[in-house]
Chain A
Amino acid sequence: MASRPQPRFPEPDTQPFWDATREHRLTYQVDPATGDVIFFPRRHSPYTGTTNLEVRESKGMGTVYTYSVVRLNRHPAFAALGPYAVAYVDLDEGFRILTNIVGVADPVKDVKIGMRVKLKWEDQESGIALPMFEPA
């Protein structure tokens, strides 16, 4: 089966995030001076421009903000999946991630906005892992 599009490197802003996924750690950044939560990963804070940021690890619990079930994707890796759910999940630590909802029998019926979800890693041949979510 064809593999999904993968993150590509060198890409210094997101490299530390993807490196952490090799150890199944979901990381995000915080500005210790303001408490701002930063995601997607970047060297600077989009709120103040500071580069003095801390990396923290998420517990991987969150809520579905919104989703769509994709019925048609011409990319071979996705065409082979059948209908699948793309979603934004709001993590309890305050960041929003684009992801897939997995571990449901029928994504059309079983995924709901507001449902609680937990992190589920999907290992990739390249050694990184994709953070996905399943019902909590």
Chain B
Amino acid sequence: MVSQKRDAAIVGIHEYPRRKAPGVTPLQIKVECAARALEDAGLKWSDVDGLYDAQDGAGMAGLNLAEYFGFKPNVIDTTAVGGSSYEFHTSHARRDIAAGKCKVALLTYGSTAHSDSRAIGTGGMGGLGAPGPISNMQDPWGMTLISNYAMVAHRHFHQYGTTSAQLANISRITRAHAMRNPQAVQAMTDLLYENIREITIEDVLGSRMVADPLHLLDCCMVSDGGGAVVIASADVARDTKKTPVWVIGTGEATKYSENKGDLTTSAGAQSAPVAFGEAGVRPQEIDIAMIYDSFTITVLTILEDLGFCKKGEGGAFVEGERLHFKSPLKPTLNTDGGGLSSNHPGMRGIFLLLESVRQLRGESTSQVDGARLAVAHGNGGMLATSHTGGTIILARD
């Protein structure tokens, strides 16, 4: 089936186990995760020669991070495009490895968003930083991050007849996976979730409305956390400890609000065909879909844009048990418990890669038997105004 180029593989991963980490800095989280991910790969600190960073720990990250870590990388990439940055980094790392510029690429993330009490979803927006043309046309209207995504949901409802119950089912399935993941259960406990158990569609619909039509349980958590990914060249990957997970297709795109534009389509509609084309696989062959779930509507929109179903048919597609790990149907969704119920410190993109790798290695807490192909799709920025989409197709031998 697969005849793709196999230039680069994910060989080491680590997810920071805590979601509430007072007294620790984002940089310390990044370093700890880097050390564990290199250990997972059987590689040394001094093997790292490519540094990829979303500027989440230090200003002038390419320089300051190299110094803090103690690396002297040959490649530095500080692409910062929000939550999808790590999919962009994976794409760039594979390109750089294929070009012979580096052999061991390190991606890290660290955040203390929860301990810092950041009101990410419900903050007032605006009034900070340098004046800019875009912020000047957005700040006065009180558009919270949640209402931004909610506007996409309303338009999707209007255009295609999608319902709140269909969105709620995404939250229900994701919670079912979360309850099997001890780190996710601990996360919900530490973040004082009510009713830490499997939930029903009615639970979601009965949770309080935050920004119509999105309920509390349509929204992700705000946690601390972090992670690291080590991507290596084919010759390095041959000698690492775990099954290499090959990066076989990548795509990157941006999208923003435009006059007469269609808000129900995301940047994924541009990035996914590139990634799937490169990988030589169809969406219907994908076993595991790790989709950025800042909100339930994000998942529904992206599933359509990735080609799992036609635009507008996402509501029916996500109904029932299809996305549950025990379902014989493909794909299985967010088996770690997602941003909705396990981990969302602000930029979730790295966790999509981590759980994809766990699935393809056979290490997930909701393991899909024989999983061979995964897609990780990150969404950065804000869906209704401007955002990025990064699609990564991963395969095991």
Contacts and interface: CB of A to CB of B under 8 A. Distances in A.
A69 B136 contact: no
B158 A66 contact: yes
B210 interface: yes
A77 B141 CA distance: 11
Counting chain A CB atoms within 10 Å of each CB, the highest count among B137, B139, B152 belongs to B137
Interface residues of B, number: 46
Interface in B103-141: 119, 122-127, 131-141
Interface size band for A: 35 or more
B373 to A, nearest CB: 35
B124 A73 contact: yes
B122 A66 contact: no
B309 interface: no
B140 A5 contact: yes
A30 B145 CA distance: 30
Contacts of A17: 137
A98 B141 contact: yes
B125 A96 contact: no
Contacts of B142: 4, 70, 73, 75, 77-78, 81, 84, 86, 100
Given A9-B131, A74-B119, A86 B136 contact: no
B151 A88 contact: yes
Contact of B154 (A96, A100, A113): A113
A77 B214 CA distance: 22
17 contacts: A4-B139, A5-B139, A6-B127, A7-B139, A8-B127, A9-B131, A11-B131, A40-B133, A67-B151, A67-B154, A68-B153, A70-B142, A72-B144, A72-B146, A77-B142, A98-B138, A108-B212
Interface of A: 4-11, 13-14, 17-18, 37, 39-42, 65-78, 81, 84, 86-88, 90, 94-100, 108, 113-114, 130
Given A68-B147, A68-B154, 7 more contacts: A39-B259, A70-B146, A73-B142, A77-B142, A88-B257, A96-B258, A113-B158
Question: Which 5 residue pairs spanning A and B have beta carbons closest together?
Answer: A75-B124, A68-B150, A5-B126, A8-B131, A7-B136
